[in-house]
Amino acid sequence: MKPLKIFATALLLAWGLAGCGGGGGGTESASEDTRTVAMVAGRAYTVEEGDTIEKRSADTVVLVETDLHSGETTATLQSGSALLIRP
């Protein structure tokens, strides 16, 4: 009976550690070609030419503003959920 408990414990430990790798579940994911960021409501993100915003819900509202003096463009998630996709 004791070897069975040891085996079961080792199996559970291996299974638990297998779920800890790869960086999945984070708000940012990187690949060779693009970087995707899950936008957070109220936070301004600097956007550049080529960036896209993907709405994830029907009630998504994103405010896009350009500062006329600096030329910097920002996008702020007002409601809902969205992804900022950078090439």
Report pTM.
0.60
Which pLDDT does position 77 carry in this prediction?
94
**Quick check: 29 pLDDT over 50?**
no
Angle at 58 between CA 56 and CA 64, to 5 degrees: 70
Residue 10 confidence (pLDDT) above 80 = no
DSSP 59: T
Closest CA to 43 of 30, 57, 28, 29: 28
What proportion of the chain, given as a percentage, has pLDDT over 70? 62
